[in-house]
Structure 1
């Protein structure tokens, strides 16, 4: 029975994600990805037309996973009737997963790609923007439900959640201490609790 090649494509993307996250897009060669995946040039070029195409597909997959992570967090608190409690518990959901987030990845692929946006291709940055806007829109809804009419800049408050994640990744990588992710999310939760009470 012929294979559809999905497993090979996933293996190549997984290898590329590890390498790009650790070394950057420019410093990651097609040959390194092939070697890391235990694959071949023929298989690589069957799935990706170029390194740029690989970068764009890699970011699209990462962004889709990022948005699914958001929706999983929203689903985890959807049953809570009090919108203030729902907002706080949304942040607590990720705080509780801080160690898991860091054990799954040492850095954010977005940072690696955005610092080299001219190399990764325009579709890559578009996928990142789409994910960022989705996070912002959903969190603004949580904030509006919790705060009602307010003079606060809800877009900026919502973006602060994204900034906390990205900043925590950088802090963890700089210090070598993955505990910073959980601690920064805990600090964010304390701020959100103060905001809603």
Structure 2
């Protein structure tokens, strides 16, 4: 007895390793997976770039950079203060002549009475500086890599699912053929 459906199972399962079938389907499937992952990565990087540049633009629309004078500096001796910046009390006068004071973090060797550039929000409170261009690019690249890895994983799952579906179909075909053969012998 010969089972006619064995060929479908044999080629779909990649049982021969790199052969991949009579028409070299393994190479084609791998190329499709790579293209899918690359497209997903590029789309993710582009979406992240648009989102991050939109965030920076919104920040620049609602915040402004001003010149302030350092009134007093916090403790500079601890390692945490050197890494995160020294806390400082600063004072500035806004465009309407109203004086403001606030606390901010300063990096570098600032001294009391020095003039520094800080960012303030719409309510004239000191704020962190906006994300720079390198942060936007790095964030986009990392997002693109993660999206590409997710695309690769989806492609692998789809390929495994196709193999499982083909195997189930081949097993059902074998079962039908065996039952037909067994019924013919009875």
TM over 0.5: no
Structure with greater proportional strand content:
2
Larger relative contact order (C-alpha < 8 A, sep ≥ 6)?
2
| TM tier relative to shorter chain | under 0.3
- Give the number of the structure whose alpha-carbon radius of gyration is greater: 2
Structure with greater proportional helix content:
1
Alignment TM-score, normalising by the size of structure 2: 0.22
